Amino acid sequence: MQNLNRITWLTIIWLVLALALPAEDASLETFLERLKPLSQSRTIQAEYTQTRHISDLDFDLTVKGRLAQEQDQRLAWMTETPLKSICIFTSESFRMWDAESGKTNVLNAAKYPWIRMIFELQSAWMSGNAEVLKRAFALRVLDECTLELSPFSETAALFFTRISVTMAPDFLSVERAVFTEPSGDTITIVFTQMQRDAPIPETTWQLP
């Protein structure tokens, strides 16, 4: 009888696992499938509000600006307030200009490999590129519109331990992204006025 009970319980546990695990996979695959229309966009533009929460000081720092992305080509983050700055990433370089100093800094990805890594990872989560996301992150569905990404790369983990990305209900744009850093500080970015496949003026890529 004891052996029978043991077999019965093992069978129940096996059935629960067998039913539960595919459901989790199916949830993730469904989420990634819904990202396909966004991943097919060639350009993305949006306004954003970014708030950095510094845990040790319980202090928030907020900046506002604009984003422009040419898929797999160029990525620009332009801060409008409180100080103006422009950061332009490609897979080969990083250029930054800020109004306070009036100077431009240029870094080459051949010397600083993290530039290419950041460019590729940011492009992937902004555009919902499922194949790149699977290679670069452990993925977990938090709710019907939110995906959590934990980087496999130890180098990437030096910058953030996880990202949660919340999609708009129609999955045609990213509404919010929350980056958690190893220190426990967080960066929350809320996107508005997102446009897909609209032409990006060439002046966007020109630093002052």
What is the domain partition of the chain in residue ranges?
35-205
How far is residue 37's CA from residue 30's CA, in Å, rounded to a whole number? Answer: 13
CATH classification of 35-205 is 2.50.20.10, yes or no? yes
Contact between residue 162 and residue 150 where contact means Cβ atoms under 8 Å apart: yes
**Per-residue pLDDT, 24:** 44
Single pTM value for the model = 0.82
Burial letters 85-99, b for 16+ CB under 10 A, else e: bbbbbbeebbbbbbe
pLDDT tens string, the chain, 208 residues long: the values are: 444 344 444 444 433 333 333 334 569 999 999 988 888 889 999 999 999 999 888 899 999 999 999 988 999 999 999 999 999 999 999 999 999 999 999 999 999 888 888 888 878 877 888 888 888 899 999 999 999 999 998 888 888 999 999 999 999 889 999 999 999 999 999 999 999 999 999 999 999 9
DSSP state of 99: T
**Per-residue pLDDT, 114:** 82
**Per-residue pLDDT, 177:** 93
How far is residue 3's CA from residue 132's CA, in Å, rounded to a whole number? Answer: 48
Amino acid identity of 182? P
Token pair listed for 36: 């396909």
DSSP state of 198: P
Question: Which uninterrupted H or E stretch holds 46?
Answer: strand 43-54
How far is residue 122's CA from residue 90's CA, in Å, rounded to a whole number? Answer: 11
Determine how many CB atoms are found less than 10 A away from the CB of residue 47: 16
**Per-residue pLDDT, 25:** 58
**Per-residue pLDDT, 133:** 87
